[in-house]
Amino acid sequence: MQTLQKKNSQIQNKFETAVQHLQKYHQGNSLFDTRFPKYAVGQKFITPFQQLRIQNSSFCDCTFLSSLIRTNMSGSKYEKCVFDTIDFENSNLQFSNLNECTIRSCNISGSNFSNCFMDHITFNQNTFMGSNFLKTQLNNCKIQGGEMISSTLEFAEFRNTYFENLRLANLSMEYSEFNNVQMENVVLPFAQLPFIFGGLDYILLTNDNISISANMKDIKSISVDEYIQTFEDWKIFFYNRELYFPLANILLAQNKKEEALEALLSGILTMINHSDYRMLKYLCKLAASHNSVSKAECRMLYTRIEELISSMPQTPVQQYNYAIHMNDIRNILVENPKSESRLYLSLKTNILTDEQPCLYHIVSFLEMFLDIPSFALTTKTISIRHNSPYEIIAVVVGATYVLSKIVESITNIFHNVRVTGDDIIGIRNAQKNGAQNDDLDNQLKAAALRKENMEIKKLELEIEQLQADIAKNNVHTNITHNIKENEKIYLA
């Protein structure tokens, strides 16, 4: 024990000497301030954090009772922490995770919270001035009282978040997202509502106590009903200014889907002509995120985008911007437009290169199985990875229940458990009972059902043949899977 203590003392002495040697150059002074721990549990901080560099830190059950001034704490974690009556001044907390924290009676100016993930955070009676919440995710949060002035909440997402006693008029909120929000005595921004995902749908459907900002002498807000009456003027303005996102947003909120799709197509053409793929991406998200726009219509928009882009030569700069955003655009419109669940399924086999016929039998069977129409899968991809032996990977997007049943059936098939056509029909019936689709009349539905039942019975024979082939070739599989429920695509 004494030897260990002596060794620790020697290490500490060497550390202090090294710091002194580095400090003589008078560079990076904030980095060498070691008064504050990088990882802290249950501590109370009463000394100001001033001009420090303590990125990627972790604070759990800590209380901050003194200011954060020109301090870089980006990429840090805050769990069950309290920030009480302090100043955040020109400090950086971007890319941080905050969970079950309280921020109350703080003056927050010139500070950066962009790209943060905040869950179960309570903001109470704070003043925000010139601060940045760009692309911040706020889940299950409460924002109560205080002021928010000249701050940026662009591209922020508010999910299951409650607002109370706030005026949100002097903020940048373009392309932020309202998802199941609630409000009490809140004034929303007049000019920016058409630029907010879900903003217009929220004001049209809610009974919350809200109003819309105005500045007409003594009148500082107007009713939602009066604001709705401005929609026709807004549409004329946006059309003439070629602002197709807010134009389509209003039309979708008014349940004028065909007109909205025309506006979106006009916007797509305009954005491609100007090589503005970032704005193109947000037009695509608007279409995909609205309940009235079907997956087929999303695919139609993507097809049109491909046609337009393929016919236009691109400069290196345009190609760079295209490469940044087009994968997101495909994900939004084709891969998972409705934020369904995604299944990652891996079948690790003992198949080597000289047994390829059995490998191809497995792959072709999976293709057939996943193509059953009643599964209503949005997308599927099957790939083969040869790491000696082969691994087959399927990535499938669809309803959570169907994906879990697909995993169950495939596992049984490859473990030589008998799977019948009735088992598949059971999945189909559960899926159809959960769906609301009255587009076809009863006769057409019955005919389609008979055809599908025949295909499923054929599939039963395919299962028996595959299981026989697997047994004959002594194929073994190790099946693993992961289902990401309601997978959301976060945009750059």
Cα–Cα distance, 264 to 262 (Å, whole number): 5
pLDDT of residue 448: 60
pLDDT of residue 29: 74
The separation between the first and the last C-alpha atoms of the chain, rounded to the nearest angstrom, is 53
Query: Could you tell me the pLDDT band of residue 394, with boundaries at 50, 70 and 90?
Result: very high
What region, left, alpha or beta, does residue 92 occupy, with left being phi > 0 and alpha being psi -120 to 50 degrees? Answer: beta
pLDDT of residue 440: 46
pLDDT tens string 201-218: 999 999 999 999 999 888
Segments making up each domain of the chain, as ranges: 254-332, 339-420+472-491
Query: Could you tell me the pLDDT band of residue 492, with boundaries at 50, 70 and 90?
Result: low
pLDDT tens string 131-169: 999 999 999 999 999 999 999 999 999 999 999 999 999
Please check whether residue 345 is in contact with residue 407, taking contact to mean a CB–CB distance below 8 angstroms. yes
Query: Could you tell me the pLDDT band of residue 38, with boundaries at 50, 70 and 90?
Result: confident
pLDDT of residue 430: 58
Residue with more model confidence, 422 or 101: 101
pLDDT tens string 228-278: 999 999 999 999 999 999 999 999 999 999 999 999 999 999 999 999 999
Q: What is the mean pLDDT of the chain?
A: 90
State the pTM of this model: 0.85
Minimum mean pLDDT range among 95-109, 145-159, 342-356, 468-482: 342-356
Query: Could you tell me the pLDDT band of residue 103, with boundaries at 50, 70 and 90?
Result: very high
Residues paired with 209 in a beta bridge: 184
pLDDT reading at 357 higher than 50: yes
